[in-house]
Amino acid sequence: MKGGVLVTRPEPGAAETARRLSALGFTPVLAPALLLAPRPLAPPAHAQALLLTSRAAARALTPWAIRVLAVGTATAEAARASGFADVRAAGGDAAALAELCAETLRPADGPLLLAVGEGYSLDLTALLRARGFRVIRRVVYAAREATTLPEAARAALLAGQVSHAMFFSPRSAACSVALLTGGGLASALQGIEALAISPRVAAALEGVSWRGLRVAARPDQDHLLELLP
């Protein structure tokens, strides 16, 4: 095996990333920074499209017949796996999703249903409303911050068995930094290269004495994995 990689994304995504890492010859070290819990949703009948900005949102929903616009290919794949049939993917961020909405939908045809995690996608809501769309924003899952690191992850970090750490969102990155630095592991981070899925995530990792900090060329897991040696 090539070494340990700290995976900070929540389940069920953490297990998926772990499988990808194992296939590449790395040892996944799971340390989810957020714990997700779905919330029931009664879909409004008059929405013309469902907007998804994360795989967690797609997985939290029971599918029904509606056009789906997803922020990127991974979220689109999760929506199809959940049972949604009419799914299109944008280029990977809020601006790209807003642009796809403007290209394929009309404000006059009805509101857009934005299914999100608690506290997420306020920027997308503003972008869409600026383009004349009515947005119905519904929270379909809550994300609670983890209060401790898994013991196996802590042991691997103290033993110097982790060479890289993967970060998938600004909130989970900030939570991970708090757990790592507050748990007496700051010195262990000096031997770890942090891999961020986007510049916003990288900003949440600044101020820590990493061995290095790199950002994926595009905000998806495939490009994040490409940063590994």
pLDDT-based confidence at residue 135 (cuts at 50, 70, 90): very high
Q: Which residues contact 202 (CB under 8 A, 6 or more apart)?
A: 194, 196, 213, 215
Q: Which of 197, 136, 140, 207 is nearest to 171 (CA)?
A: 197
Fold of 4-33+146-225: Rossmann fold (3.40.50)
- pLDDT of 1 > 70? The answer is no
Average pLDDT over residues 169-175: 93
pLDDT-based confidence at residue 33 (cuts at 50, 70, 90): very high
Which architecture characterizes domain 37-143 according to CATH? 3-Layer(aba) Sandwich (3.40)
- 219 or 213, greater pLDDT: 213
Give 19-36 as a DSSP string.
Answer: HHHHHTT-EEEE--SEEE
In this prediction, residue 121 carries a pLDDT of 67
- Contact assessment for residue 56 and residue 70, using Cβ atoms and an 8 Å cutoff: no
- Contact assessment for residue 115 and residue 55, using Cβ atoms and an 8 Å cutoff: no
- pLDDT of 176 > 90? The answer is yes
Same fold, 4-33+146-225 and 37-143: yes
Residue extents of the structural domains in the chain: 4-33+146-225, 37-143
This prediction has a pTM of: 0.76
- pLDDT of 31 > 80? The answer is yes
